[in-house]
């Protein structure tokens, strides 16, 4: 089992460009999450999907959109990247309310 | 008041000593508590979870929960240099949805 996979691992964007971060899990989890991690700020929830077909905003959703494509896949889209979105992005999955399993992360730099 | 508070550290302990990491939270209805370890440049991984008041032991790790005082702690016995990492506490809300809230983490350094 691969667990939680994320692509790409690294990305550099120019301000205003768009991109989609991909996440997939093979643990048959119902819930999936997107976090960003910045120095001194801890993990902040961007969006989550409690189950297939549902998505909800987290703590810092502005500037992002998500799609729960199916039970396995949950993507995060930046429509018009800004330097403030420079961060490390983690995808995670879990059974509801329980231990979260994290992907390896995407390191995004917006110039 | 922040929802969860952790001392950012670094907390430095000599090899073989007990490392004590603490976390306080503000939501009295919080239900489940987790400790994650994150090595530099890596993703968080769960090392302990605790739901009930008291102690829970797993190898060299002991999680302690006191809901009345709203704190959770992690003790690492016989600390090893490989324990050097950032430790994140987390909890689930008692509200209608169970999203997990993370602390900012405490950096632990185990000195050989």
Mean pLDDT over each residue of chain B, to the nearest integer: 89
In total, the C-beta contacts within 8 angstroms joining chain A to chain B are: 47
Residues 6+ apart with CB under 8 A from B110: B12, B13, B14, B15, B19, B79, B80, B81, B82, B83, B84
The tokens of B58 are what? Answer: 């797993």
| B20, two tokens | 């004590």
| Cα A50 to chain centroid, rounded | 14
One-character DSSP codes across B26-80:
S-TT---EEEEEE-TTS--EEEEEE-SSEEEEETTEEEEEETTTTEEEEEESS--
Tens digits of per-residue pLDDT, A41-92?
Answer: 889 999 999 888 899 999 899 999 999 999 999 999 999 999 999 999 999 9
Are the beta carbons of B97 and A100 separated by less than 8 Å? no
Is A56 an interface residue toward B (CB < 8 Å)?
yes
Q: Is the peptide bond before B100 cis (omega within 30 degrees of 0)?
A: no
Q: Is A62 helix (H, G, I), strand (E, B) or coil?
A: coil
Confidence of residue B27 (pLDDT cuts 50, 70, 90): confident
- Checking if the pLDDT of B98 tops 70, the result is no
> DSSP 3-state assignment of A30?
coil
- What is the least distance, in Å, from the CA of A17 to any CA of chain B? 26
Beta carbons of A63 and A85 less than 8 angstroms apart? yes
């Amino acid at each position: 089992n691969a667990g939680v996979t994320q692509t790409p691992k690294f990305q550099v964007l120019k301000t205003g460009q768009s991109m989609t971060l991909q996440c997939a899990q093979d643990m048959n989890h119902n819930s999936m999450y997107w976090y960003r991690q910045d120095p001194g700020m801890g993990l902040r929830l961007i969006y989550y999907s409690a189950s297939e077909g549902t998505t909800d905003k987290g703590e810092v959703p502005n500037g992002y959109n998500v799609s729960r494509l199916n039970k396995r896949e949950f993507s995060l889209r930046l429509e018009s990247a800004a330097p403030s979105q420079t961060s490390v992005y983690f995808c995670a999955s879990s059974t509801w309310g329980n231990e979260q399993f994290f992907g390896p992360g995407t390191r995004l730099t917006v110039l | 008041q922040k929802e969860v508070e952790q001392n950012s550290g670094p907390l430095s302990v000599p090899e073989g000593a007990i490392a004590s990491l603490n976390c306080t939270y503000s939501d009295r209805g919080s239900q489940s508590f987790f400790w994650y370890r994150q090595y530099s440049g890596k993703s968080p991984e769960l090392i302990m979870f605790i739901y009930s008041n008291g102690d829970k032991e797993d190898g060299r790790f002991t999680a302690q929960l006191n809901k009345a005082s709203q704190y959770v702690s992690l003790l690492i016995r016989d600390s090893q240099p490989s324990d050097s990492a950032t430790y994140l506490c987390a909890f689930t809300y008692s509200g209608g949805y169970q999203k997990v809230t993370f602390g900012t983490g405490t950096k632990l350094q185990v000195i050989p």
